[in-house]
Amino acid sequence: MTTVLPRLALALAALLMVPLSCRPIDGTGVVSPSEFLSSLRALGQPGEAKTEFILPRTVTLCGETLPLDRPSVRERLEAEFQLAANHRAQVELWRRRAKRFFPLIEAALRQAGLPDDLKYLAVAESDLRPTVSSPAGATGLWQFMPATARHFGLTVNKDLDLRMLPEPLLAIGIKYLSSLRSQFGSWSLAMAAYNSGEARVARALAREPAGADYFQLSLPRETERYVYRIAAIKMVMENAGQYGFSDSPPPALYRPVEFAEASLSFPSPVSWAALARELGCDYKTLRLLNPHLGGLAVLAGGPFALRLPPGTKAPPSIGT
Of residues 134 and 17, which shows the higher confidence score?
134
168 & 291 share domain: no
Ramachandran sector of residue 8 (left: φ over 0; alpha: ψ -120 to 50; beta: rest) = alpha
Which secondary structure element, helix H or strand E, spans residue 62, and what is its range? none
Pairing of strands 60-61, 64-65: antiparallel
Say how far residue 188 (Cα) sits from the centre of its chain: 19
Q: Point out which residues pair with 266 in neighbouring strands.
A: 301
136 & 268 share domain: no
Confirm whether 12 is domain-assigned.
no
Domain-terminating residue out of 218, 243, 268: 243
202 & 136 share domain: yes
Dihedral sign (CA 211, 216, 222, 225): positive
Confirm whether 172 is domain-assigned.
yes
267 & 293 share domain: yes
161 & 100 share domain: yes
Q: 66: domain CATH number? A: 1.10.530.10
Q: 300: domain CATH number? A: 3.10.350
How many contiguous H segments (helices) and E segments (strands) does the chain have? 12, 4
5 has a pLDDT exceeding 90: no
Using only the alpha carbons of the chain, give its radius of gyration: 25
The 10s digit of each residue's pLDDT in 286-313 is 999 999 998 889 999 888 999 999 888 7
| Domains of the chain: total | 2
Instruction: State the residue range of the domain holding 183.
Output: 60-243
Report the range of poorest mean pLDDT among 178-182, 188-192, 226-230, 263-267: 263-267
Q: Are 170 and 118 in contact (CB under 8 A)?
A: no
77 & 157 share domain: yes
